[in-house]
Amino acid sequence: MDISANVPLAQRPDHVPASLVRDFNLYSPPGMINGETDDIHALWKQIQDTHPDIFWTPRNGGHWVVTRYAEIADLTMKPELFSSTEPFVPIGIIPHVGPSQLDAPEHPPFRKLVAQAFTLENLEKAEIRARKAAITIIEELKPRGRCDFMHEFAGVMPIVTFLNLLGMPESEQPYLHNLAERMTPGHPEMVAAHAEATAYIEALIEDRIENPSNDFVSLLVRAQVMDRDLTEIERLNIVRLVVTGGLDTVINMSSFATTYFARNPEKQREVKDNPDLCDRVVEEITRRFGTSNLARVARKDMDFAGAKLQRGDQVLGIFPLSGLDERVHEDPMGFNLHRTRGRHMNFGSGPHLCLGMRLAKRELKIFVEEWMGKMPEFRIAEGTAPSMSTGIINYMRDLHLEWDPA
């Protein structure tokens, strides 16, 4: 589904030179076939190699696109130049969801509040439960010789982790996984799924008002920010941000990595044979397999990357390309366990650095140690192909694996 199908083409503004115009649609970029590809990062890399560092598209309301590390870093690290108020393309496609769409001075107090969900104690408890979930799944799958990786592993472990972090029952995992899939931009049920998520979170908050506990949602119910109680909509937005924010990054990043290893058995063996390099593997996964494509809004007229921006222009960053830029990394499409400095913006940077980054890396480490370390050598299941799509999130649709049971 092309989410922008009914959005009319924008007229080229006078400050945009014709030489920088490209017919580019975030939801169906060149190389996609019927909204799918079997390697989304190779597709993005091709665009990086064939398009200007910055260009303007009339699609999705008309906006700029940047594809290189330096410009994507500027988007995230220079809030004096770029506002975070409209990170989604096209503008207005997703309702405002709280802290992720605030600038200073409002943003820091809300960020400090959300950070309380990610204390060291909470992270350690969540990690213990996540590892237990991973081991249980692997013990069940290993004798079978095949699996639906997205639904049977990648979509289980990270959601179980967040449920524990938020004090929610693990029995909610199948429902939340299904909800996360339907909320993905481009899914035909996206609008209904977002409404369903709102109702779900409203009920969760109401339950914590009546039955407070020591979990993060209960903390929010009684929290204050800037010397006042949170409003109902602020509570809703913060809980929605934390809950839904934990439902896609690790699911997709681990699935992209698993696809790569299934296609490159020599790299799969290298990871298995070097458990002491686990932290390096995690860093290389986060560099190589980014998941988000987010925008900022120019706060003033400026010269930027050879283009003239006007105040209010939306600028989209293809964040995975920050780690795939050969100007920053030698052999960026390779997977190098000995790479010492994997520079990228795949968790953002600056004031909007992802608060869940430490948890995501812990989960990825569990994926490397348990799945990569203990499963037999796996491959793409015969007669199947990975299915990936893109939009605000680069995501895996299907990934079927097989292996020779011991």
pLDDT in tens, 35-48: 899 999 999 999 99
**pLDDT band with cut points at 50, 70 and 90 for residue 303:** very high
User: Is the confidence at residue 123, as pLDDT, over 90?
Assistant: no
User: Is the confidence at residue 109, as pLDDT, over 80?
Assistant: yes
> Can you give the pLDDT at residue 186?
62
Burial class (CB in 10 A: 0-12, 13-18, 19+), 195: exposed
Q: Dihedrals φ, ψ of 211, to 5°?
A: -135, 70
d(CA 375, CA 377): 6
> Can you give the pLDDT at residue 289?
97
> Can you give the pLDDT at residue 158?
83
> Can you give the pLDDT at residue 401?
98
Biggest CA pair distance of the chain: 65
Q: Dihedrals φ, ψ of 291, to 5°?
A: -125, -15
User: Is the confidence at residue 185, as pLDDT, over 90?
Assistant: no
pLDDT tens, residue by residue, 256-292: 999 999 999 999 999 999 999 999 999 999 999 999 9
What predicted TM-score, i.e. pTM, was given to this entire model?
0.93
pLDDT tens, residue by residue, 134-179: 999 999 999 999 999 988 999 888 888 878 877 788 888 888 878 8
Rg (C-alpha) for the chain, rounded Å, is 21
- Tokens at residue 301, please? 């007229």
pLDDT tens, residue by residue, 335-392: 999 998 889 999 988 888 888 899 899 999 999 999 999 999 999 999 999 999 999 8
Q: In Å, how far are 211, 282, 305, 345, 349 from 73, measured between CA atoms?
A: 43, 21, 12, 7, 7
Minimal CA–CA distance to 363: which of 146, 57, 172, 159?
Answer: 159
CB-based contacts of 194, cutoff 8 Å, min separation 6: 94, 95, 183
Question: Which of the pair, 125 or 301, is modelled with greater confidence?
Answer: 301
> Can you give the pLDDT at residue 245?
67
State the average pLDDT over residues 70-87. 96
> Can you give the pLDDT at residue 20?
98
Strands 63-66 and 314-318: parallel
Average pLDDT, the chain: 91
> Can you give the pLDDT at residue 377?
97
> Can you give the pLDDT at residue 261?
98
What DSSP state is assigned to residue 369? I
- Residue 127 identity (one-letter amino acid): E
Question: Which of the pair, 94 or 105, is modelled with greater confidence?
Answer: 105
| pLDDT more than 70, % of the chain | 96
**pLDDT band with cut points at 50, 70 and 90 for residue 183:** confident
Q: Which domains does the chain have, with CATH numbers?
A: 31-94+110-403 (1.10.630.10)
Determine contact, residues 364/336, Cβ cutoff 8 Å. no
CA dihedral 390, 393, 398, 399 (to 10 degrees): 110
> Can you give the pLDDT at residue 10?
96
> Can you give the pLDDT at residue 224?
87
H, E, C per residue of 300-343: CCEEECCEEECCCCEEEEEHHHHCCCCCCCCCCCCCCCCCCCCC
